[in-house]
Structure 1
Amino acid sequence: MSTQLLQTGILNESSLQINWSDYSDSVKTIHHYLEKKGAALTGWLNLPLENNDITLKAIQSVANEIKMCADVLVVVGIGGSFLGAKAIQDALTPYFDLHPNGIEVVYVGHNMSGAYMLQLIESLKNKNVYVNVISKSGTTLEPALAFRVLRKYMENRYGNDVQNRIIVTTDAETGLLKKIADNTGFRQFVIPENIGGRYSVLTPAGLLPLAVAGIDIVRLLDGAKKAALLLKEERLEKNEAYRYAVIRHSLYKRGYQIELLASFEPGLSKLHEWWQQLFGESEGKDKKGLYPSGVIFSTDLHSVGQFIQDGSPILFETILHFKETPTDCIVPYDVRNIDNLNYLSNRSFNEINAISKDGVIAAHAEGGIPVIQLELEKLDAYHLGYLVYFFMKSCAMSAFLLEVNPFDQPGVEAYKSKVLELMHKNIIYREWHA
């Protein structure tokens, strides 16, 4: 496997002018702080290195049961409780055969759209259903509302058998969802107390939906284990995750405000969303941090490409590229050649995509845009496991370089409190005037 972090920029690589020695001591200090569990919620750091055989067997057993007894698994969650699984599922699922293993895995609880909820319920008719609700607390409004609707639906439809068809993934000891599961006898999987939601994709929160979707979760964890081993290196020059964090920090200090994650495969769009949450929620504090945004090329080159090339110089790019994808298409030879494309005949789409990627990097670099390239050998479970761990390790380092806590989200709690306050006020007002 080849995993490269390249400070490319092609024609303007030297313009980055990062003095790595300026960061070496800070990086080592933060590294030791993380490794010694100085910060809370760092259980994800060594999770891939632990013996997870018992948990994996339990997950595979339940996943096999669901695949035998159901047509669809409905996953209830928001943020880290759904984005990681959805990201990997979309990246590794065929575009037009959405449930190649004979079962659908669909997601709800990440919005408050009544139309989405009703249409989901309608879609479940004539299908056998299991539900997996994921939340450490059980009190987040969006998934709590969705679970209330689905729980009532499942109770009405399945009666006493509902106990076998609802699976709860939550905290081991505390929380409203834990209380509900204990009172009802729903089967439970545990999100470790020392792992926060956006770092939980390699826990049962991500692994159970992925196993049901037919993703090889053992290989996923193997890739994460490889990353966990390689990225224990404290030396900046030897640790690619830390180098990525330092490049980001250096560009931020120079006035760049936006990091644009770009890739050339449409199935990676949800991976971009997971990355956006990881970095945005970890770094965006104390009026600090880069704004994380994502684009899929070449599609978005025909929408925001003009701004990227010639607009305000507020962003830099991180290009994510997989050298090999699971399937490919060859351009046929056409004796008529009316479209003048025979020069590309017998070339694969992936090959053309890779050339396009190099051209985009060259054009953007010439336009003065700093470019980072992350390149992995193959788009598969192993390399995605490597990548998600790489991003989590980079994110922790990057946030600490900003002197913010990577593992809390006070801004999210602020919006939750305000929404609940307004909700209660509105309901009391309506009851008073009824």
Structure 2
Amino acid sequence: MPHYLEWSRAYSHRLNAADGAPLQARAAEMGARLERELAQGILPFLSMPYRATLEKDLPPILEKVRTRKHMLVLGIGGSALGARAIQRAFAPGQDRPGHDGPCLWIADNVCAEEFEALLAGLDAADTSVVCISKSGGTIETLAQYFLVRQWLQADLGEGWREHMVVVTDAVSGYLRQEATSHGLASLEVPDHLGGRYSVLSAVGLLPAGFLGVDWRALLDGAAEVARPLLEAPRSLGSHPSYALACWARALELQEYSELILFCYVPQWAALGPWFAQLWAESLGKDGLGILPVAATGVTDQHSVNQMFLSGPRNKGCIFLTSRGQAEGRVFGQDLPQEWAWLRGKPLGSLLEAEALGTRMALCMNEVPLVHMDMDGTGPNAAGAFMLLLEAATLFTGWLMGVNPLDQPAVELGKRLANARLGAPGYVTEHADLDNFMAVPLQEQAF
């Protein structure tokens, strides 16, 4: 069966269909742009021209890394969020009692204590390290690479090379130089494939394959959603990703400032932070954009849902459910009389009822809502979900008039950090640091 977007309560309250109509009318213009940019090869997350090479190069590397129990991924942002979401969705045993299968560890922050704990607890001989950076120059990831290389060398000597895989640009950058000079196993991040759009490339699929996840099914699910866009880009107006883009842009034009992804597929909860980066880094530009808010059902019914229901009326919601989730154990017939209405029902019926109740409550409290209902929770469905949201993000950016493929504001903090550490070539940033640090502190103890 297909996946569905359900629209009956999407244009509601102060958002109405008339707000979306002018955006829908731009479908021909956007379709022509899609056709042009596909031909230019700058949308590889849609066209996946790298798939044939990946299917040739990935299996031999998987064969090697799967001889070891542990994989340590060095990466941040888009180099980590997708892999973590895939692990928690499709290899959750690692987080459960009694696990004895492969283990994926992701070093995605600068925390000396956590990093030391990881290295202290891992056996270098039984660990494959994957260093991921498209540019090959991400300072946080390179810092980890230098330290992990020392750690591997201390235990394995020259054998460290057999335990390191780099995922980076095919021809340029420091990590590509390292791969070439040391003979490291490597996979490429294709041109024009930014980190937040890269989960369905080697970036996410190498960790997925290590865990035994069906990575080809992830690609297949994505390809099914992308196919109409590739085969008939000028028919963009009928694609659900463009409908989502029009709705999201209409929300912003009506001064909605937050977009909730409320996930009632518990094992997919980590896709919320993945979506948050995708949306925020692509669309938060030039004073524009809607803040993405990731929420998990039913957990967040008991926390932030109070704000969703009774706070400012500035929120839209993508409400995610899935058919075919596990029903689980059945409540016995010996429940107390006040709970007799649960007798004979499976635990999964509680999730279904909670999802319906929350969805209704959001709609009754003036939250425009698109219900996304997936046919299953496997890798194929997840690939479809991710591709749909990537495409919707792209088209929303086009409708906003911003470039959804760059992230210029993020680079400023990186440049200032490099200047703070003494990197050469940052004259302006050094001056900015001096001015910033010269402002007298106004401290208040507590």
One-letter amino acid matched to 2:313: P
The amino acid of 1:302's aligned partner reads H
Residue number in structure 2 paired with 1:373: 371
Quick one: structure 1 residues 123 and 8, their matched pair in 2 at CA, closer, same or farther if it must change by over 3 Å?
A: farther
Q: Structure 1 CA distance, aligned partners of 2:97 and 2:273?
A: 20
Q: Contact 2:263–2:321 (CA<8 Å) still a contact in 1?
A: yes
Structure 2 residue aligned with 1:385 = 383
Q: Give the drift of 1:13.
A: 4.2
Residues 25 and 368 from structure 1, CA distance in 2 versus in 1: closer, same or farther, beyond 3 angstroms?
Answer: closer
Partner deviation per Cα, 1:402-421 (whole Å, 9 max, x = no partner): 10001100011011011112
Moved more, 297-306 or 233-242: 233-242
* TM superposition shift of 1:378: 0.5
Say whether the 8 Å CA contact 1:171–1:191 is kept in structure 2.
yes
Check 1:98–1:279 CA distance in 2 against 1; reply closer, same or farther (3 A cut): farther
Change (3 A) 1:357 1:86: same
RMSD: 2.3
C-alpha distance 308-138 of structure 1, shift in aligned 2 (>3 A) = same
Change (3 A) 1:181 1:51: closer
Runs of 4+ aligned residues of structure 1 deviating over 6 Å after TM superposition are: 98-101
* Equivalent pairs, count: 420
**SS where residue 360 of structure 1 aligns?**
helix
Residue 209 in structure 1 maps to residue 233 in structure 2 = no
Matching of residue 252 in structure 1 with residue 252 in structure 2: yes
Judge conservation of contact 1:40–1:407 (CA < 8 Å) in 2. no
8 Å CA contact 1:41–1:407 kept in 2: the answer is: no
Match of 1:122 among 120, 129, 147: 120
Cα 1:99–1:22, aligned 2, differ >3 Å: closer, same or farther? farther
Q: Does the residue aligned with 2:192 lie in a helix, a strand or coil?
A: coil
Q: Distance in 2 between matches of 1:257 and 1:119?
A: 39
Alignment CA distance shift 1:58-1:371 (3 Å): same
Partner of 1:432: none
Q: 1:44 Cα deviation (Å)?
A: 1.5
Q: Does 1:42 align with 2:40?
A: no
Segment drifting more, 256-265 vs 95-104: 95-104
Q: In the alignment, which residue of structure 2 is the partner of 1:267? A: 267
Pick closer, same or farther for the CA change 1:231–1:331 going to 2, 3 Å.
Answer: farther
1:329 counterpart residue number: 328
In structure 2, what is the equivalent of residue 18 of structure 1? 17
How far apart are the structure 2 equivalents of 1:99 and 1:73? Answer: 19
- State the distance in 1 between where 2:131 and 2:360 align: 45
Q: CA deviation at 1:375?
A: 0.9
Could you tell me which amino acid in structure 1 is paired with residue 322 of structure 2?
F
Question: For the residues of structure 1 that align with 2:8 and 2:416, how far apart are their CA atoms?
Answer: 44
- The percent of aligned pairs where both chains have the same amino acid is 25
1:54-73 pair list within 5 angstroms = 54-68=53-67, 70-73=68-71
CA gap of 1:269–1:36, structure 2 versus 1, over 3 A, is same
How far off is 1:64 after superposition? Answer: 2.3
Q: Go from structure 1 to structure 2 and tell me whether the alpha carbon gap of 1:348 and 1:112 turns closer, same or farther (over 3 Å shift).
A: same
Alignment TM-score, normalising by the size of structure 1: 0.91
Match of residue 129 from structure 2: 131
- Alpha carbons 2:28, 2:237 under 8 Å: kept: no
1:406 aligns with: 404
* Unpaired segments ≥5 residues, structure 1: 430-434
Q: CA deviation at 1:42?
A: 1.3
In structure 2, the CA distance between the partners of 1:333 and 1:237, relative to structure 1 (3 Å rule), is farther
Distance 1:18 1:152, change over 3 A: same
1:120 alignment partner, SS class: helix
1:138 corresponds to which letter in structure 2? G
Aligned to 1:292: 292
Contact 1:223 1:384 in 2 (8 A): yes
Which amino acid in structure 1 is aligned with residue 359 of structure 2? I
Change (3 A) 1:178 1:302: same
User: Could you tell me how far apart the structure 1 residues matched to 2:354 and 2:235 are?
Assistant: 34
Matches within 5 A, 1:66-145: 66-68=65-67, 70-94=68-92, 96-97=95-96, 102-108=101-107, 110-125=108-123, 128-145=126-143
Provide the secondary structure at the position in 1 that maps to 2:255.
coil
Question: Partner amino acid for 1:180?
Answer: E
Change (3 A) 1:53 1:40: closer
SS of aligned partner of 1:424: coil
- What one-letter code is carried by the residue in structure 1 that aligns with 2:201? T
In the TM superposition, residue 231 of structure 1 has moved relative to its aligned partner by 4.0
